[in-house]
Structure 1
Amino acid sequence: MTAARMTRTAPTARRMKRSIFPMFFFTDCHTPFVFIISPAGQLPLRDAQGCSNVKKRLWPQTKNAIHRWHKWYNGNTGGINMTGKFSKYLKNRKPALQELVRLLGEKYAYASVLATDVAGTSISVDRSTTSVNPSGLTECGFVVKVFDGRAYVEYATNEIDAKHLEDVIFAVDRLVAAQTTVPSVSVGLLKEEPIVKRFNRKNVGKDLSAEAIIALLKGFVETTIASDPLIVNVRAGIETTEISKLFLSKAKDLEQYYTWSNPRSYVLARRGEVTKYAYDGFGDNSVERALGALGDLIGKTAKLAIELLDAIPPKPGYYEIVTDPSITGLIAHEAFGHGVEMDMFVKDRAAAKDYMGKRVASPLVSMRDGAASAFSVASYFFDDDGVLAGNTKIIDKGILVAGISDVLSALQLGKTPTGNSRRESYKRKAYTRMTNTFFEKGKSHFDEMIVSVKEGYFIAKTNNGMEDPKNWGIQCTAHYGREIKDGKFTGKIVSPVVMSGYVIDLLESISAVSSDFDVIGSGSCGKGYKEWVRVSDGGPCLKAKVKIG
């Protein structure tokens, strides 16, 4: 695993940082710590190795980064205009990166570079404000990784060019020399099959100017507010991203470009002293199509917000439930998503490693994860370690059959990597992360599932969830539920709904899985309390029994 890591940050092409001066930090894969050489606004005369003239060596990269940021700002605040092409910036840097891999490959058994350039725009409108901003997902930078026969070492920076390759090599060499003071886990050499591929997935439909999008969103907001005096505010928005990534090693030359759009709605309703809200969103690879569906979505969100004014908390107890696809996805995510991330196996933090080949769920349950398992927000062509997208069956008819992994966890466990190595950004290390995680569809009909419920709830709209992979505790929070008695909806609505229990008990209680199926591409997931990446949720509807309250 990575024994040491250093990140150098100046203003990137996509997002200005707090300080224009670089900062360095080292992390061990188990116990992170930070060592700041350069406080914000100050630059030392010498670096950690006593090298003088640091300002002279680093200013060209800093100046170039500022230039690229201004270029983005001037070119991307006019609207959502997808380029439809792999990043020109990365394409121009590619010869230098290939030379860097060649030079590092002469002294290290393994050498690779991941280059990322993510652009995006977020536009939102409510009754009093309009905002156009860069997406919070924007980034532009590089991760250099080498293996010296003992451990893997990473160096991250937001600037690499042909004139300063010796600076990068110097930094990598310094990290390799420093790793003897950092606790590490010995692993072997990554084995790679030669592959050269280019992937491109463009935005579908026409581009739209910021003015056109704002006018459309304002129309949605004004119409919805005017539709009912109980509605006090509406926020309508859309966020788009263009992702370009390049992965180079001795054996691999991979490029990918793809886009995604997320329309969102939020409605606030008030009656007297009672205020409630509702929200919704989805994903699409077409800005035009996403905006076309947003009006209906806002209308449904407004109707729900008004209904929630009459919501009461549910009475605690054990109930039969039927879940909507978003809650089904949340259960999958928390039950055997994080629990089968195999970097947790390496650290002995997941019980699932001892249950491979054993029954963990109802025979009606089969579950998958993978960037290639569905088309959604987490559908990429290769992961951040250059492994092609996977489609992993995790549970097969109730039997736990596989986990998901990044390359280094797979290497330590003697497994084949599944294409789940993901970074929050180039500034962070790679972990095993979920992508599109879902239960496979079944054969039951939704109406029949509702009719079969004696007393319980239809649970809908994901709020949040937590899990304990070591002890298999689970907690899932839904925004609302609709009461069911004797197979019929009573008209009563409850909110919020907190479900908890033991993972195996919950999955074993599943007695029906619907033939309806929907993957929703609008989610994000953290690892612990940080390391956020985009994930989808969704799947079929489930009938199960769970503790509420």
Structure 2
Amino acid sequence: MTEIKELRFILKNLVRQMEATVPYAAAWVQDRVGERLLLDSREARAEALERQQGVVLTVFTGRAFMEYALNGIGTSEFCDRLTAGAEELVKTALMEGIVDVGLDIDPGVALNQDFAAAMATPPEQIPLRRKMATLKTIRDDLQIRDARVVNATVFYSHTRSRELFVNRTRSLYQELPRTQMVAQVVLREGDRTACLHGGHCYLGGYEHTYIKEEEQGRLIRDAGRILTAPRLSPGMYDCIFSPDFAGIFAHEAFGHGTEADLFLERRSRGQEYLGHQVASPLVNLSDSPALPGQAASFFFDHEGRLAEETRIIENGVLKCPITDLNSALRLGLRRTPNGRRESYAHKIYARMTNTYFGPGNRDFEEMLQDIKFGYFLDHPSNGMEDPKGWGIQLEGLYAEEIREGKLTGSVFSPVIVTGYVPDLLQSITMVGPQVQISGLGMCGKGHKEWVKVSDGGPFLRLKARLG
């Protein structure tokens, strides 16, 4: 595997040469490899993921950003191609025109540092037959737990990203290994079927290749309940959201709606409410790539911004959107570590990382106590938001009835939550003490530009319209 850290010297020189003409220049290098395994009741599959390896050069003309990307790192002619690419990029910038309209980029304090996420057991050290044996054990355990299981599937994937960012003051390198495990079961009874999945994704190595016994049991139990579940009667109800359901709520409600590149396009209503109360005072909502070990964490974003927490909502007040360099520069907003690309061949956008509701101090039993009739929602499946109109729709597979302060065991499926985002957020009356984050998510920007995200929160009690 090519050691991309060796490109530091040439990239520093190229940045210096480009900045002899343009106000700002930077470079980002990516080298991502991985593997994916699948085992179910009928087939076994193992494949290497397509390698993503390349460099993108960025210049700023004083008014516009321009980029040049190329692959082929490690080939004999690569350095010559890279130099020629930098020269071509500067020529294009000159044709566009170098101007001064008062947009000055802060390159950050001087920093030359390497980062690496901890990995106890590198997956490359584990033979394929052992990995498949681990998947087989989990699959077999799932299949024997319930006679109605007609298929059990176990997915494993591991990626290892090496990234280098260079500008005039910074030379930053990071290694990000991610391991994901997912189990899915299909149950059948008569002409009805139910499909449910669970699992996790974390920064790290083969040490995360497991599905806990309690998770397997919960998967089979809840899939069995969904199998015979009717639809609920639409209406407004007292609800308790599980941490997973709180997570999809966080992601859809104030994730996309506070990506500041949407502010530039006037596609987000959130821009009008900065500094205003939009949620219950109990609500705190953050986005942070600095959470240790979480799937969407990193040490710096693709524009060299060091990882840190961004408090989007504080005590119910919309405080800060998430930004990339372009949106922060043009809107005069605080720059946050959310400039991310799908790969070196894709554009930078303001993107979520780990997005989550903060903790409160009310436990689950307290939330249940005075609900005369409502629902506990779990196993979210999908969500969508209209950032401009602030409408939201969350879809889930599991709504368990609450009567007189107790879960009854009666389950309804599927369930859809709809509403106006501030109404839902302002209806939150209790927040649990423990934040749980799910790492299984990927997020697109308009059905493309996919990046790794995660979301979560504690249990939430609120009022919601269900259908």
Q: 1:481 touches 1:495 (CA, 8 Å); kept in 2?
A: yes
Q: CA deviation at 1:107?
A: 2.3
CA-to-partner distance for each residue in 1:465-523, whole Å, 9 max, x for gaps?
11111111111111211111111112211111110000111001001001122112221
> Identity percentage over the alignment?
36
1:323-334 alignment, distance < 5 Å: 323-334=241-252
Letter in 2 for 1:188: L
User: Which residue is equivalent to 2:223?
Assistant: 305
Letter in 2 for 1:168: G
User: Which residue is equivalent to 2:111?
Assistant: 195
User: Which residue is equivalent to 1:105?
Assistant: 19
1:157 maps to which of 62, 70, 74:
70
Q: CA deviation at 1:415?
A: 2.1
Unaligned 5+ residue runs, structure 1? 1-86
Change (3 A) 1:114 1:271: same
Pair 1:176-2:93 in alignment: yes
- Answer with 150-159 or 358-367: which moved more: 150-159
CA-to-partner distance for each residue in 1:420-454, whole Å, 9 max, x for gaps?
10111111111111111111110001112122321
1:387-466 alignment, distance < 5 Å: 387-466=305-384
Letter in 2 for 1:237: F
Q: 1:362 touches 1:508 (CA, 8 Å); kept in 2?
A: yes
User: Which residue is equivalent to 2:42?
Assistant: 128
Tell me how far apart the structure 1 counterparts of residues 312 and 438 of structure 2 sit (CA, whole Å). Answer: 20
Tell me how far apart the structure 1 counterparts of residues 450 and 329 of structure 2 sit (CA, whole Å). Answer: 24
Pair 1:118-2:36 in alignment: no
1:244 maps to which of 142, 157, 162:
162
Q: CA deviation at 1:148?
A: 2.6
User: Which residue is equivalent to 2:281?
Assistant: 363
Q: 2:183 touches 2:211 (CA, 8 Å); kept in 1?
A: no
Q: Tell me: higher relative CO, structure 1 or 2? Use CA pairs within 8 A at least 6 residues apart.
A: 2
2:200 maps to which of 278, 282, 287:
282
Q: 2:138 touches 2:211 (CA, 8 Å); kept in 1?
A: no
* Alignment root-mean-square deviation, CA: 2.1
Tell me how far apart the structure 1 counterparts of residues 121 and 248 of structure 2 sit (CA, whole Å). Answer: 31
Change (3 A) 1:299 1:491: closer
Tell me how far apart the structure 1 counterparts of residues 445 and 122 of structure 2 sit (CA, whole Å). Answer: 36
User: Which residue is equivalent to 1:17?
Assistant: none
Tell me how far apart the structure 2 counterparts of residues 472 and 143 of structure 1 sit (CA, whole Å). Answer: 35
1:257 maps to which of 159, 175, 178:
175
Q: TM-score, normalised by structure 1?
A: 0.80
1:139 maps to which of 46, 49, 52:
52
User: Which residue is equivalent to 2:129?
Assistant: 211
Q: 1:135 touches 1:240 (CA, 8 Å); kept in 2?
A: no
Q: CA deviation at 1:187?
A: 6.9
Tell me how far apart the structure 1 counterparts of residues 333 and 141 of structure 2 sit (CA, whole Å). Answer: 55
Equivalent position SS for 1:530: coil
CA-to-partner distance for each residue in 1:324-375, whole Å, 9 max, x for gaps?
1111011111111111111111221111112122110111111111212564
Q: TM-score, normalised by structure 2?
A: 0.93
Change (3 A) 1:237 1:299: farther
User: Which residue is equivalent to 1:478?
Assistant: 396
Tell me how far apart the structure 1 counterparts of residues 95 and 384 of structure 2 sit (CA, whole Å). Answer: 37
Change (3 A) 1:185 1:265: farther
2:431 maps to which of 497, 506, 513:
513
Tell me how far apart the structure 2 counterparts of residues 151 and 223 of structure 1 sit (CA, whole Å). Answer: 57
Equivalent position SS for 1:531: coil
Task: Report how many residues are paired.
Answer: 459
CA-to-partner distance for each residue in 1:212-271, whole Å, 9 max, x for gaps?
110111122123223332100000121111111100111111111121211101101111
Q: 1:385 touches 1:421 (CA, 8 Å); kept in 2?
A: yes
Change (3 A) 1:175 1:129: farther
CA-to-partner distance for each residue in 1:167-202, whole Å, 9 max, x for gaps?
31343145435658xxx9977231112221211113
Equivalent position SS for 1:266: strand
Tell me how far apart the structure 2 counterparts of residues 166 and 91 of structure 1 sit (CA, whole Å). Answer: 17
- Answer with 311-320 or 159-168: which moved more: 159-168
Equivalent position SS for 2:289: coil
Q: 2:251 touches 2:356 (CA, 8 Å); kept in 1?
A: yes
Unaligned 5+ residue runs, structure 2? none
Q: 2:226 touches 2:397 (CA, 8 Å); kept in 1?
A: no
Letter in 2 for 1:468: D
Q: CA deviation at 1:376?
A: 0.9
Pair 1:354-2:272 in alignment: yes
- Answer with 192-201 or 294-303: which moved more: 294-303
Letter in 2 for 1:154: E
- Answer with 324-333 or 301-310: which moved more: 301-310
Equivalent position SS for 2:225: helix
Q: CA deviation at 1:94?
A: 3.2
Pair 1:91-2:8 in alignment: no
Runs of 4+ off more than 6 Å = 184-187
User: Which residue is equivalent to 2:407?
Assistant: 489
